[in-house]
Structure 1
Amino acid sequence: MIGLIQGEVIFSDGNELILLTNSGIGHQIYFQHVLPEGSKAAIFISHIVREASEDLYGFRTLREKKMFEMLTTVKGVGPKSAFSLISSVGVGNIIDAILFENKKTLTKAPGIGAKAASQMILDLSNKVAKIKMYAGKSLVVNPQSSHDHVDNSQISFSLEPMEEEVSADMPIYDESILQDTLLACKELGFKEEKIVPLAQKIMTENQITRPEQLVHLVLKEV
């Protein structure tokens, strides 16, 4: 199975990408970002093989790839729907939505209805947190002349943060504190879609050690 492809960008329109390797093969990949033609790229790949077709879905980070592969294990969630969900919502928001049973966020992507969202929550609530262990940074190819074909022996890679992926690179904090805070606020009548982003922001800006602290700060701002 193909896990990563590196090569020269021959075509890119924000939906598909053609990447030419130095073996002379141009791989057509579903990819939701525009890359400059002639540039060099390294793309994480999920290789979907079916009876009548083979498709390559491309991702900038290993975390996105692993999230995609986990989503496609859910009954009723196909590759196109999972790909669309990651592109439109982001990995970090998907994790939060599953952990806090926020179906509204999960149904933002085309092809994901309430039933599929419920199944995601049921199947992945005890698994999805491990996605954070995978790298949330992109592989960057050292610049070369756009006129040269890709020479794998001369390409080196470095891990660099991606500005677009700030929400996907979730800050480290105690999930149990966040969950207890959400439950307390819901009992007071507040909606989770309003509480979760606010609580996350507070936890990244303050040293929170107890749910009571977080509840107090959240209630001051709602």
Structure 2
Amino acid sequence: MYEYIRGNIADISPANIIIEAGGIGYFIHISLNSYSQLSGKKDTRLYLHQIVREDAHTLYGFADSKERELFRNLISVNGVGASTAIMMLSSLTADEIRTAVTTENVAVLKAVKGIGAKTAQRIIIDLKDKLGKLSESGHILPATDNTIQIEALSALVMLGFAKKDAEKVVSKILGEQPDSTVESVIKQALKRL
């Protein structure tokens, strides 16, 4: 298993990053919170989690080890896969997830796409004791890119939303709040879709 990767950021979007290390470009899935921390940097060190299946070897990257630990705790819950865990880490900050679990706030977890009442309750039951021990710093840096609509739409499509639905929601959000960042547009869209 890989612990981390250090290298140059060849490409980055709200849903994934390509890091060049040792002459090889690694495609790594990231959360919106990690994107916020990495946006604008030329090189980085990402903590990794690798999932090996018959048809794929998939890497998930995290700006800090505590976010990776939360991801690993989430995927340990029956019914929560890597995509759902990344969706949770993109919709809510790590502190919000931890607070929702420790205070047994099912409504906050249900607000994430793909999380129903039963899954939210299962997450709370399985992780309440574990997440009470984690400490997170929820520092998020603003995005500086001027292609907010394109990046937000791209991220939502990569997360599995229909392009037409995502376009409508992103356009509406940018119409209401034209000075929004990519992260805020995606977070609001995740709540509306």
Give CA deviations for 1:157-183 in whole Å, capped at 9, x if unaligned.
Answer: xxxxx7318xxxxxxxxxxxxxxxxxx
Give the superposition deviation at 1:75.
0.6
Structure whose CA Rg is larger: 1
What's the RMSD between the two structures over aligned residues?
Answer: 1.8
CA contact (8 A) 1:74 1:119 kept: yes
Give the superposition deviation at 1:57.
1.1
Give the aligned partner of residue 12 of structure 1.
12
Q: Identify, as 1 or 2, the structure richer in helix.
A: 2
| Aligned counterpart for 2:61 among listed residues 58, 63, 72 | 58
> 1:111 is paired with a residue of what secondary structure?
coil
Q: Which runs of 4+ in 1 moved over 6 A?
A: none
| Aligned counterpart for 1:164 among listed residues 140, 162, 169 | 140
> 2:19 is paired with a residue of what secondary structure?
strand
Give the superposition deviation at 1:18.
0.5
Give the superposition deviation at 1:35.
2.9
**Fraction of identical pairs, as percent:** 31
Unaligned runs of 5+ in 2: 142-193
- Aligned residue pairs, count: 136
Unaligned runs of 5+ in 1: 138-161, 166-222
Give the alignment of 1:177-216 within 5 angstroms: none
Give the alignment of 1:16-165 within 5 angstroms: 16-21=16-21, 23-31=22-30, 32=32, 33=35, 35-36=39-40, 39-132=42-135, 136=136, 163-164=139-140
Give the superposition deviation at 1:71.
0.5
Distance across 1 between alignment mates of 2:48 and 2:104: 29
Give CA deviations for 1:25-77 in whole Å, capped at 9, x if unaligned.
Answer: 1100112316347x111111111112221111111111100000000000111
> 2:140 is paired with a residue of what secondary structure?
helix
CA contact (8 A) 1:12 1:36 kept: no
Give CA deviations for 1:58-97 in whole Å, capped at 9, x if unaligned.
Answer: 1111110000000000011110111111121111111111
